[in-house]
Amino acid sequence: MDRDQTAIEGARDYARLVQQFAPKPNVARLVGRAFLVGGSICLAGQFVFDFFRQRQPTEVEAIALTLATMISVGVLLTALGVYDDLGELGGMGAAVPITGFANTMAAAAIDFRREGLVLGMASKMFIIAGPVIVYGIVAGILTGLAASLLRLVSGGG
Amino acid sequence: MTGKRLGQFTVQFSRPPRIVGAFTLMGPREGEGPLGKYFDAIVDDYMWGEYQPEKAERKYLEHAARRALGRAGLTEDDVDYFVAGDLMNQIVSSTFSARSLGIPHIGVFAACATSTLGLGLAAMLVDGGFARRVLVATASHYQSVERQYRYPIELNVQHKPTNQWTATGGAAAVVAAEGDGPRISQATFGRVMDWGVKDVNHMGAAMAPAATDTLLRHFQDTNTTPADYDLILTGDLARYGSKLFRELADRVGVTLGAKHMDAGASMYSPEQPSGAGASGAVCSAAVVYGYVLKEMARGRFNKVLALATGCLHNALTSQQGDSCPGVCHAVVIENG
Amino acid sequence: MIYFWAFVVGGLICALMQFVALRFPRLTPGHLLVGLTVTGAVVNGFGLYDRLVEFAGAGALLPVSGFGASITRGVIEETRRLGWEGLLTGTLELVGLGIAAGVLFATVAALVTAPRS
């Protein structure tokens, strides 16, 4: 009797076997739900913006208030234990909008608070959202640099 | 010492030790599942009043251990070793429970295969004359496992159908040279098998090859077939892992049929969303120490082959591009 | 009219990301969101994303691509105003609000709540 691990037939095509027996996700349904959940959140944000636009002198202020509101909504729904259910339902529809960004921070803060306010909550608050900020900044700087250089080269202002 | 080894992988006990007491203490979700009535106690708040889930997990383990001793009519002084393990880094649920139990501690790690590894090891210690009685225990907790291996609890995550839900609870059993209870007649400890499954969301696929390997080796060593057992129980393969396991077993000429049951696939009902099924060190332990022992006492099963499987990755290995190795440990439990 | 486009554009960005997630299951949500953010940042190099925001309002602003685009916009505006140091000071001009609000509200939430299942 051999001790060869591949003695059980199929080691080589195991990946294919796993695929074969894997559940096939209903792409249409999942994409549709992402569309509806994401679209609804953005629509809600648009209503919020119009609410503030009527009351604020400048559009910039209205935008600022809208973002702050949507972030607080994301945090609130996380604190109520509801946003994770929204994520289960809408997938990317819940993750992509800024409410999702707020959720990552609130979820981490709430969970890791258990290890204390400094070493737990504060040090892990950006554990999920960090990459978005890091690569957003890197991409923004590089893009801005490229755009500025191109403008310089083409003589424009 | 001659004659205890059977074939290449299995040991046969010359005076098979008995499981003389057991206790399963599970969370509310598990209590509401199809096997709920087989668990000895259900905690109605799965955090059990604790602020940190790791502390709750520890509580489940220690209480199950103490109650198992009680069921066997024993105290800590009557037991020679405390064989325990769990999913936490440095198996702290076990070590911290050992701290209060005061029994010499043999810490083990086999992820979700801890239940049968513990039974097999305990049986070796007793049959080898190294112990009169051994207490075996394990536990797991949904939140503590999520925090260590995956994500914060309130994070928006869309789970895949192959994801499993970590069972919450603690389970313990006492193995002794003498007493009332079914005996552990054989044990087959498994090799770690890795067939390149990198998807940590599909642990069932990672563990199925190990389950098949241990199953096959056990049958070869003991010259038995599924027909010789009343139940062939796997731990934590869950829905899709079980399918792969049955397919792989078929390919090596072993047809399992209706005798096969998977602990992970049986823990929750379809109304309890849990992806592919349950996982966690306590899952197979609760089913073996709870459901199986009780049904054996009733006479519904007389000879059971229990094969718990474990997925041996940690939070870092998948980030480092490693695949998930699996292991499967088997014990034969029989009446008489 | 902008309500319609906010819903549709926001929905489409999310739907597209969901499709990508299903098509490439090895990519985690983290990877996908980083990709979307960077896309927004790069696309706004010449103000294209700003135009999408004018057209679709919250449907373009709220997704994380808007976050990336706002970083680029801040960088470009500040570089025009200050020169090279604007490359760095401009990054958080517009999104600083979102980050600060997130930190503040998340902290409050953590202090006020007890975690549950």
Q: Report pLDDT digits (tens) over B210-231.
A: 999 999 999 999 999 999 999 9
A10: confidence class by pLDDT, cuts 50, 70, 90: low
Give the mean model confidence (pLDDT) for residues C55-83. 95
Residue spans of the domains in chain B: they are 5-176, 183-334
What mean pLDDT comes out for the span A55-68?
A: 88
- The predicted model gives B189-213 an average pLDDT of 94
| pLDDT above 90 for C42 | yes
List chains adjacent to chain A, taking adjacency as at least 3 C-beta pairs closer than 8 Å.
Answer: B, C
Nearest CB to B46 within list C25, C114, C117: C117
| Chain B nearest-CA residue for C27 | B199
Dist CA C43 CA C67 (whole Å)? 12
Please identify which residue in the block is written with the tokens 């010259």.
Answer: B223
Please name the residue ranges forming H helices in chain C.
2-23, 29-43, 48-56, 58-61, 64-82, 86-89, 96-112
Q: Which two tokens stand for residue C74?
A: 């801040």
Q: Report CA torsion sign: B188, B189, B191, B197.
A: positive
The answer to whether residue B132 scores a pLDDT higher than 60 is: yes
| Residue A69 vs residues A62, A65, A102, B86, B298: alpha-carbon distances, Å | 10, 6, 11, 43, 61
Q: What is the pLDDT of residue C1?
A: 84
Residues 6 or more apart whose CB falls under 8 angstroms from that of B334 comprise B16, B182, B183, B185, B302, B303, B304
Rg (CA), chain A: 23
* pLDDT at residue C18 is higher than 80: yes
Residues from chain C that touch A140, judged by Cβ atoms under 8 A, are 41, 68, 71-72, 74-75, 90-91
Residue B2 has pLDDT above 60, yes or no: no
3-state SS class at A27: helix
Q: What is the pLDDT of residues B6-36, one digit of tens each?
A: 999 999 999 999 999 999 999 999 999 999 9
ipTM: 0.94
What beta strand segments (E) does chain A contain?
Answer: none
Q: pTM of the entire structure?
A: 0.92
The letter for the amino acid at B21 is G
For B195, name the nearest residue in chain A, comparing CA atoms only: A11
Q: Which of B52, B162, B195 sits opposite A11 (nearest CB)?
A: B195
Share of chain C above pLDDT 70, in %: 97
Question: Average pLDDT, whole number, for chain B?
Answer: 95
pLDDT at C115: 52
How far apart, in whole angstroms, are the C-alpha atoms of residue B166 and residue B152? 14
pLDDT over 70 at B189, yes or no: yes
d(CA B310, CA B323): 14
If pLDDT is split at 50, 70 and 90, which confidence band does C117 have? very low
What ranges do the domains of chain A cover? 26-125, 127-157
Share of chain A above pLDDT 90, in %: 77
Nearest CB to A37 within list C14, C44, C63: C14
Q: Quick one: pLDDT at residue A156?
A: 56
B101-129: pLDDT as tens digits: 999 999 999 999 999 999 999 999 999 99
Per-residue pLDDT of A105-152, as tens digits, reads 999 999 999 999 999 999 999 999 999 999 999 999 999 999 989 888
Q: pLDDT tens for residues A71-118? A: 999 999 999 999 999 999 999 999 999 999 999 999 999 999 999 999
φ/ψ region of B257 (left if φ > 0, alpha if ψ in -120 to 50, else beta) reads left
Determine whether the interchain pair B199/C25 forms a contact, defined as Cβ–Cβ distance below 8 Å.
Answer: yes
Give the residue-averaged pLDDT of B52-66: 97
Quote the pLDDT of residue B289: 96
Residue B60, pLDDT score = 97
The confidence score (pLDDT) of residue A1 equals 34
Q: B186 pLDDT exceeds 70?
A: yes
Query: In this complex, do C117 and B153 lie within 8 Å of one another by their Cβ atoms?
Result: yes
Pick the CATH number of B183-334 from 3.40.47.40, 3.30.420.40, 1.20.1740.10, 3.30.1300.10: 3.40.47.40
Q: Does A97 touch chain B (CB under 8 A)?
A: no
pLDDT at residue B11, rounded to an integer = 97
A6 falls in which pLDDT band (50, 70, 90)?
very low
- For the cut 60, the answer to whether the pLDDT of residue B264 exceeds it is yes
Chain A residues whose beta carbon lies within 8 Å of the beta carbon of residue C79: 144, 148
From A40-44, B224-228, C110-114, the region with the lowest mean pLDDT: C110-114
Range B302-316 average pLDDT: 96
Tell me the chain B residues in contact with residue C26 when contact means C-beta distances shorter than 8 Å. Answer: 198-199
Of residues A14, A90, A111, nearest to B147 (C-beta): A111
Using an 8 Å CB-CB cutoff, list chain B residues near C25.
Answer: 160, 199
Does pLDDT of A50 surpass 80? yes
Nearest to A96 among C33, C71, C90 (CB): C33
The fold of the B5-176 domain, in CATH, is: Peroxisomal Thiolase; Chain A, domain 1 (3.40.47)
Token digits of residue B61: 């383990």
Per-residue tokens: B30 = 């598990």
Q: Is the pLDDT of residue B93 over 90?
A: yes
pLDDT of residue A7: 47
Average pLDDT of chain C to the nearest whole number:
93
pLDDT value of residue A23: 92
Which chains pack against C, by 3+ Cβ pairs within 8 A? A, B
Q: Give the pairing of strands B10-12 and B169-176.
A: unpaired
Contact between B224 and B185 under an 8 Å Cβ cutoff? The reply is no
